[in-house]
A and B are shown apart, each in its own frame.
Chain A
Amino acid sequence: MTARAGSVFVIVAIAALGAAPFWAAPFTITLLNYIGIYALVALGVVLLTGVGGLTSFGQAAFVGIGAYATAWLTTAQGVSPWLGLVFALILTGIVAAFLGAITLRLGGHFLPLGTIAWGLSIYFLFGNMESLGRNNGITGVPPISFGSISLEPTYAIYYLIWGLLVIATIVMANLLDSREGRAIRSLRGGVVMVESLGISVFRVRLIIFVIAALLAGLSGWLYAHMSRYVSPAPFDLRMGIQYLFMAILGGSGYILGAVVGAALLTLLQNALQDVLPHFSSNGEQLEVIVFAIIYVLALQFARGGMMPLVLRYLPRQAEPPIAAAEPLPRRAMPQGGAPLLVVERLLKRFGGLEAVSQVGFEVKAGEIVGLIGPNGAGKSTVFNLITGALKSDDGKIFFLGQDITRAGQRRVAQAGIARTFQHVKLRASMSLLDNVLLGTYLRTRAGFVKGAMRLDRNEEARARSEALSQLKRVGLGDKPHDQAGNLPLGRQRILEVARALAADPALIILDEPAAGLSRPEKIALAELLRGLRKEGVTVFLVEHDVEFVMGLVDRIVVMDFGCKLLEGTPAIVRADPRVQEAYLGSVV
């Protein structure tokens, strides 16, 4: 199928869905209603698990909270379902914020285990509360109505469900394409880099957790007023697992994967319920087994879900051009020659070993300073202490006169220090442009709501223009939309330099920027760093290429076995016999 046939197919499919009540049997509409309701929950799972990397088995519990909240309020208090919606969302949001605050700091497999725990307990809570009708549930939930129009008929609520789903999908797409969306997409694969850009990992995680729960709560509200009855069964852990599999089967990295997965699973379940009874009287048990087999096969052969397959037939959206825009505001650079970074008696122990021991030095504004020494001398540890990635055991670090010894990575980034890493930390599946855009996080303001409502376009255009100019500056401007992971290792380091530059730092800390670069590329890098010095940016770098360092820097600090060996101009350092013995080797 060609792209053109693909777009025709998309238009026909949308028209068919829109007109479904006019051509489809009532049962088909009911199925579509369920698909929409499930897809809302799965959409949250895509955000949380597929994009944000937090696995939750407990989303069904949030659906239950939303459903029970509105069912109780509209039956016991007799108020309008719209008030029920407000109550459902508030309650789900509060519970999610509370659960998130206590479980999201758990790492590894403890978080999924935690979601199982509260998924189970909330389900049992429904079944044991007298006011919620115990296991019998709540009956007589009123239908939703718009003024005098009742949404009681199946086809009427169909439009509400799918209308909300379409809106949720669009809002989600907007969000992921925004400043906070990039922060969400950067969560997978290590938090040190994310925090070094000034992004609060915990805050972003908590917010996407609450968003996913609110989508589940919305789905629960629709469910309660569609089926007019709630009981604990549809909100049990098994359902929680199903929502996760909907997202995975559809393609958990894609927004539309939620819809595709929900549709696939619902239709499959329906088909099996038609077919299996012909083979066995234990149809229900057989269904579980068939699904188990499908899951295993899907995990084995289609990790990315169905979306990669679907996308092949959909028209591909061209990347929007990156237009020149008003530059982002820049920081006032400190007066050249003033002490910028002061390190005093810095000490760091790993177990019994003193990795950094009583190290002190000063970097002045507008200088390029090199930190050299044998592998294992403690250079990267010093960098990690300055940038807050590690906490020192003793000593002081001042930046622009401000004590940043215990500041932590985010405050260090805010103060104006940007860095690259010895072992490259990029997001391989994000584009070069998006990786550099991450660097502009602290220079931009648009939050979740602005991003989701697309009110951030002006700022976003400025950030994109800035990111592209940094890419061009380091020589990677020709293919900004390529995936970062496709770059050779040496150029990935240079991409990290562009990301650091996008933060408009007063001090840029580079950990082996020239490793893996060819000679012409090293010459270009040195030229770039000299250009930065002219702009008033201070550069502090670790590098093993002696020629590169000696030709570039104003001063050198030499470390060996965790201690400072000496500091001075390149000529002094080169002539020092201790340096020759420990680092350079006899022949230089």
Chain B
Amino acid sequence: MRPLLQIEDFHVAYGKVEAVRGVGLTMQPGQIVTVIGPNGAGKTTLLAAAAGLLHSRGKVIYDGVDLERLDVEERVERGFCLVPERRELFGDMAVADNLLLGAYTRRRNGSDVKQSLQQVYARFPRLAERRRQKAQTLSGGERQMLALGRALMARPRLLLLDEPSLGLAPLIVREIFRIVASLRDLGVSVLLVEQNARAALETADYGYVLEMGEITHEGPATMLAHDARVVTTYLGGSD
């Protein structure tokens, strides 16, 4: 099968400092792949650069197409969407409008968009209840749901999720990971960056460990979860 995403010899630098150094990563369609690693390892940078928000060197091949010449908007149009760490909602706008903006690149078919909106509401009933509320009045968990829902409105084939569980209560964390896992059934692939390594490895099919800008470990998620070094550094004792 042709990989959905193939990143090769990928470098990202801030001025003279290289934050991501020669990273290679492959994803099959329908897979959930996670990147774990310490703070400052370059995980957020990797996602942002892959989405086209930062300048990078190296190859990003998505669905057989080299993305080098495509800007962020064109990547989104092809179903390549980033959900950033800070969620970046439009706080002054209603929940429904935030969602509709997610479908901005599909503006041509109106009824289609309405159908997607209903699907998102079905997936996140909380958002349906709050559709007229301003996004800034939402709680942390609802904000993350809105960020996810907005990304789904673009009909993505690949979602890049940056720390979806950040700042969320345990119950909601579990809910978010359940939703991420359920994206597989939609045929959406997920590249997941998480500090909550345990939950990330439980959800993902395959994992990479990024340290100091380089991939130091990789393997099927269940194997990584039992790797001695990963356990001591990222998972710790019983949780």
Interface set of A (CB-CB < 8 Å, partner B)? 350, 372-376, 422, 486-491, 512, 515-521, 544, 546-547, 582-585
Contacts and interface: CB of A to CB of B under 8 A. Distances in A.
Interface stretch (B4-12, B26-34, B164-172): B164-172
A374 B44 contact: no
A521 B141 contact: no
A415 to B, nearest CB: 28
Contact of A518 (B38, B140, B171): B38
B167 A512 contact: yes
Given A375-B140, A375-B142, A490-B39, A517 B195 contact: yes
B205 interface: no
B236 interface: yes
Contacts of A584: 170-171
Interface in B119-144: 137-142
Contacts of A516: 39, 85, 163, 166-167, 195
B174 interface: yes
B166 A375 contact: no
Given A486-B14, A521-B38, A585-B174, A375 B195 contact: no
Nearest to B140: A375
A422 B142 contact: no
B239 interface: yes
Contact of A519 (B140, B174, B233): B233
Contacts of B219: none
A585 B171 contact: yes
Name which of A490, A518, A583 has the most chain B CB atoms within 10 A of its CB: A518
Contacts of B174: 585
Interface of B: 14, 37-40, 44, 85-86, 137-142, 163, 166-174, 195, 197, 233-236, 239
9 contacts: A350-B137, A374-B172, A375-B142, A376-B142, A491-B39, A512-B167, A518-B39, A519-B234, A583-B171
A582 B239 CA distance: 19
Contact of A491 (B40, B170, B171): B40
A520 B38 CA distance: 8
A375 B44 contact: no
A488 B168 contact: no
A156 B137 CA distance: 64
Contacts of B167: 375, 422, 512, 515-516, 544
Contacts of A422: 167
Contacts of A376: 138-142
Contact of B233 (A350, A517, A520, A547): A520
B91 to A, nearest CB: 11
Contacts of A582: 171
B4 to A, nearest CB: 27
B234 A544 contact: no
A175 to B, nearest CB: 29
A374 B166 contact: no
B34 to A, nearest CB: 14
Nearest to A373: B169
A512 B169 CA distance: 11
Given A375-B139, A376-B140, A487-B40, A519 B236 contact: yes
Contacts of B140: 375-376
Given A512-B167, A515-B166, A519-B233, A547 B39 contact: no
Given A375-B141, A375-B142, A489 B173 contact: no
A585 B176 CA distance: 13
Q: Which 9 A-B pairs have the closest CB atoms?
A: A376-B139, A375-B140, A375-B139, A375-B141, A490-B39, A518-B38, A585-B171, A374-B169, A515-B167
A585 B170 contact: yes
A489 B169 contact: no
A375 B172 contact: yes
Nearest to A546: B170
A547 B38 CA distance: 18
Given A376-B141, A488-B39, A585-B174, A518 B168 contact: no
A513 to B, nearest CB: 11
Given A519-B234, A519-B236, A585-B174, A375 B40 contact: no
B169 A583 contact: yes
A516 B171 CA distance: 17
B39 A375 contact: no
Contacts of A374: 139, 141, 169, 171-172
Name which of B37, B166, B234 has the most chain A CB atoms within 10 A of its CB: B166
A534 B142 CA distance: 38
Contact of A375 (B14, B169, B233, B235): B169
A372 B172 CA distance: 13
A488 B40 contact: yes
Nearest to A585: B171
Name which of A486, A517, A544, A585 has the most chain B CB atoms within 10 A of its CB: A544
B229 to A, nearest CB: 12
Contacts of B197: 519
Contacts of B235: 519
Name which of B40, B166, B172, B195 has the most chain A CB atoms within 10 A of its CB: B195
A376 B138 CA distance: 8
Name which of B168, B169, B171, B172 has the most chain A CB atoms within 10 A of its CB: B169
Contacts of A373: 169
A372 B163 CA distance: 20
B169 A517 contact: no
B115 to A, nearest CB: 29
A316 to B, nearest CB: 14
A311 to B, nearest CB: 14
A585 B169 CA distance: 10
Nearest to A424: B86
B141 A489 contact: no
A489 B171 contact: no
Contacts of A512: 167
Given A375-B169, A488-B39, A518-B39, 12 more contacts: A375-B142, A375-B168, A376-B138, A376-B139, A489-B166, A491-B40, A518-B37, A519-B236, A521-B38, A547-B239, A583-B169, A585-B171
A544 B40 contact: no
Contacts of B169: 372-375, 544, 583
A490 B165 CA distance: 13
A516 B165 CA distance: 9
A583 B168 CA distance: 11
A201 B195 CA distance: 37
A328 to B, nearest CB: 29
Given A374-B141, A375-B140, A547-B239, A521 B39 contact: yes
A488 B139 contact: no
A393 to B, nearest CB: 18
Given A376-B140, A488-B40, A518 B195 contact: yes
Contacts of B171: 374, 582-585
Contacts of B44: 488-489
Contacts of A372: 169
A512 B168 CA distance: 10
A223 B173 CA distance: 66
A530 B167 CA distance: 22
Contacts of A583: 169-171
A518 B234 contact: yes
Nearest to B238: A547
A200 B44 CA distance: 36
